[in-house]
Homo-oligomer: A and B are copies of this chain.
Amino acid sequence: MLRFCLIGTGRAGLVHAANIDRRIKDAQLIALCDADPGALRRAAAECSAGRQYLDYREAVRDPRVDAVIVATPAFLHREIACEAAAQGKHIFLEKPMALSVAECEDINAAAAQAGVTLQIGFMRRFDAAYVQTKEILESGELGPVMIIKSTGRGPGLPPPWIYDLSKSNGMLAEVNSHDFDSVRWLVGSEIARLYAEAANLKCDDARDRYPDFYDNAVVVLRFANAALGSIDGTCPAEYGYDARVEVLCEKGALFLGSVQDRGVSRVTCDGNVTTQAVESWRSLFREAYIGEIEHFISCVEQQTTPRATGLDGLKAVEAVAAANASITSGEPVTLEAVRRT
């Protein structure tokens, strides 16, 4: 039985809270923490957790807490994660891991020093279709990857703090961290170089104050092993949550994901055949969100390495930084160049 404190009671945080409360037997949510008293109160009403904290420093000192789930905005990740590590708490850290490679390095160092388990919230690595894709690629039956393409679109308006790229690293960080992690994991090779085009095509209200904000981006990738790739991201796409991957290999191709949900399809007198789009990452990755926490618990209990490590988190942050640098400079950017800065 692992006792959790959730730090950050936004949407992703509440998904974890509900899973621990209702679906994961060997875990207990005993505490909540949010700097916003209103959010904390609302979350407490939904959860079984008896303890509430406004200050994460107190939360991570609670001796009854074994592990924290950090689901705050990314610019707070470093200080919270490092403090939690210092207090000997195991850390489940939502993506993006942090705002910069340097911050990621700090977190990794803190966790290593404290000897606590650190897992990044790349839940796609726990989704049955992603796992199956990884297995097929690793089996070699389709030969090496030639081109991988990943599309990641979110349905909702981004919260305003994302407009400020210095605080958020933008949509590529908030939405497409998953895509950067997925393509790297699936190809089994590091991104070597990328070029990105981006535009603000929907968020008129952000244009004046945040001229570098973008809500659409297309990134072309070259991997160290010579494979090519692309990532495209849009938020909000409005029609739903859209996560699809296509992998072209030398001897075939794989297609993962669909715009369509698994629901009923209907045909009406106007001749329209209609199904529902995937509405949310909550429904699409329901089992993966449960699976990653069960995996985290097992890693803590058996002292094994999580499937999504702090290094994986760092690599995704690095790629996002490169893409943002490419958008700013209008030039292709090597990951090596990002690493040197």
Q: Interface residues, chain A, CB within 8 Å of chain B?
A: 21-23, 25, 128-129, 132-133, 136, 142, 144, 146-147, 149, 153, 193, 195-199, 201-202, 216-222, 226-230, 232, 234, 237-240, 248, 250-256, 259-260, 262-277, 279, 330-332
Q: Which residues of B sit under 8 angstroms from A239, Cβ to Cβ?
A: 252-253, 267-271
Contact A254 B274 (CB under 8 A): no
- Which residues on the B side are within 8 Å of A195 (C-beta)? 195, 197, 220, 332
Per assembly, the copies of the chain total: 4
Given contacts A216-B147, A220-B219, contact A252 B228 (CB under 8 A): no
User: A216–B146 contact, CB under 8 A?
Assistant: yes
In the complex, which residues of chain B have a beta carbon less than 8 angstroms from the beta carbon of A262? 128-129, 262
Q: Which residue of B lies closest to A222 (CB)?
A: B197
Name the distance in Å between A335's Cβ and chain B's nearest Cβ: 14
18 intermolecular pairs with C-beta atoms under 8 Å apart: A21-B25, A25-B25, A128-B263, A132-B264, A142-B268, A147-B218, A199-B222, A201-B250, A218-B220, A237-B253, A238-B251, A238-B269, A239-B270, A255-B264, A255-B265, A259-B267, A272-B276, A330-B332
A251 → B minimal CB distance (Å): 5
B266 and A277 contacting across the interface, CB-CB below 8 Å:
no
Cα distance, A106 to B272, chains bound together (Å)? 45
- Most B-side CB within 10 Å, residue of A201, A269, A273: A273
Partner of A232, one of B147, B198, B264, B272: B147
Candidates B220, B250, B256, B279; contact of A220 at CB < 8 Å = B220
Closest to A276 in B: B271
Contact assessment for B253 and A228 in the assembled complex, using a CB-CB cutoff below 8 Å? no
- Please pick, from B132, B198, B230, B332, the residue contacting A218 in the complex, using a CB distance under 8 A: B230
**Minimum Cβ distance to chain B for residue A297 (Å):** 12
In the complex, the chain B residue whose C-beta lies closest to that of A153 is B248
Bound CA–CA A201/B143 (angstroms): 11
- Which of A197, A226, A251 has the most chain B CB atoms inside 10 A of its CB? A197
CB-based contact A264/B129 at 8 Å? yes
Residue among A228, A229, A331 with the highest chain B CB neighbour number at 10 A:
A228
- When C-beta atoms are compared, the residue in chain B nearest to A48 turns out to be B25
The chain B residue sitting closest to A260, CB to CB, is B273
Q: Which residues of B contact A144 (CB under 8 A)?
A: 201
